[in-house]
Amino acid sequence: MPLFRLLAIALLSWIAYLVLKNFLRQVRQRAPAVSRRRSDFTKVLRCQRCGIHVPEDEAVHREGKVYCSEQHSR
Ligand SMILES: [Zn+2]
């Protein structure tokens, strides 16, 4: 039955295409997570008032000292 064999090959290649497409989508979604994890290693600074540790980009700098919030910098 050549027709049946042809259909089976077509079906198998279609499934393979779907699996590959799904796999590529997963790889693409995983890529940003890796770079996000790498950015977690940003410098952490200690608040001069309460001693809490805050990421450098969230810290408040005032008169050469580091604070966790605008409130503590006053
Ligand atoms: Zn503080």
- Per the structure, the count of domains in the chain is 2
36 and 9 within one domain: yes
Q: What's the pLDDT at 43?
A: 86
Residue 40 Cα, ligand 1 centroid: separation in angstroms?
Answer: 21
CA 52 to ligand 1 centroid distance, Å: 6
Average pLDDT, rounded, for the chain: 88
Rounded-to-integer distance, Cα 54 and Cα 46, Å: 6
Residues recorded for the chain: 74
Verify that 34 and 1 share a domain, yes or no: yes
Q: Looking at the structure, do residues 11 and 35 belong to the same domain, yes or no?
A: yes
Same domain, 17 and 46: no
Q: What pLDDT was estimated at residue 30?
A: 75
**Per-residue pLDDT tens over the stretch 1-11:** 788 999 999 99
Same domain, 36 and 3: yes
Structure letter (DSSP) for residue 56: T
Tell me: pLDDT of 37 over 60: no
Q: Where in the sequence is the domain holding 59, given as residue range(s)?
A: 42-74
- Residue 63 Cα to ligand 1 middle (Å): 15
Task: Name the band, by pLDDT with cuts 50, 70 and 90, for residue 27.
Answer: confident
Answer whether 45's CB lies under 8 Å from 33's CB.
Answer: no
Neighbours of ion ligand 1 (CB under 5 A): 47, 49-50, 68, 72
* Residues 31 and 48 occupy one common structural domain: no
Buried b (16+ CB within 10 A) or exposed e, 43-64: eebebbeeeeebeeeebbeeee
